[in-house]
Amino acid sequence: MDYPGNLFVVAAPSGAGKSSLVKALMELDSRVSPSISHTTRAPRGQEVQGREYFFVSPDAFDEMVAGDAFVEWAHVHGQRYGTSKKVIEDRIAEGADVILEIDFQGALQIKKIFANAVLIFILPPSWEELRARLLRRGEDAVETIELRLSNAALEVAQAREFDFVIINELFERALFDLKAIVHAQRLKFSAQRRARPDTFKALNIC
């Protein structure tokens, strides 16, 4: 499927720094916008309905699945999360660059539907550092952290399926890497031709 906007899909185990990196990228680059997922989990801390997620009941989620409203959805850490089909299709058709922060199962499903999607996996520098970050974050109960760490071992094994890998050891370096991937995507022939039609026409490139 061809479409004018770029679709970036970022996956990582919890605690690898995915949300902070994506947030920093969007602050620096107004052309990248997020896709807000639906989830059956309850809001945490300062999370706001419709900002981090659309928080919905299991029944409402079932209805969306039955109505084919998701481009992908998955069970993650005992809850369900899904990406709205309409939002993605409308936004990339308009030429927006959309970034999805989803788990690896969802990322691989997206790649099957949108072959040009750019899959980026963020790795922690070590298991010790990942555990330390999850504990420092202080958002989850110890049992939840243990569940997230055991899931992380399965998740990182999927990094080989992704187009790019960023090791988030130093935040600024990882952000530079993420910006570089986004920038390189915009320099692809098809993207440049869309962005600069007059230049291409004047140079007789069709």
Residues in touch with ligand 5GP (CB under 6 A):
14, 37, 41, 72-74, 76-77, 81-83, 101-103, 105-106
Whichever of 17 and 106 has its CB closer to ligand 5GP, that residue is: 106
- The CB-of-74 to ligand 5GP minimum distance in angstroms stands at 4
- The CB-of-73 to ligand 5GP minimum distance in angstroms stands at 6
Whichever of 74 and 159 has its CB closer to ligand 5GP, that residue is: 74
- The residues that bridge with 118 in the sheet, in sequence order, are 8
Contact 152, 130 (CB under 8 A): yes
- The CB-of-109 to ligand 5GP minimum distance in angstroms stands at 7
Q: Which residue is nearest to ligand 5GP (CB)?
A: 106
> How far does CA 112 lie from the centroid of its chain?
15
- The CB-of-191 to ligand 5GP minimum distance in angstroms stands at 25
Whichever of 97 and 101 has its CB closer to ligand 5GP, that residue is: 101
- The CB-of-104 to ligand 5GP minimum distance in angstroms stands at 8
Whichever of 146 and 195 has its CB closer to ligand 5GP, that residue is: 146
Whichever of 3 and 54 has its CB closer to ligand 5GP, that residue is: 54
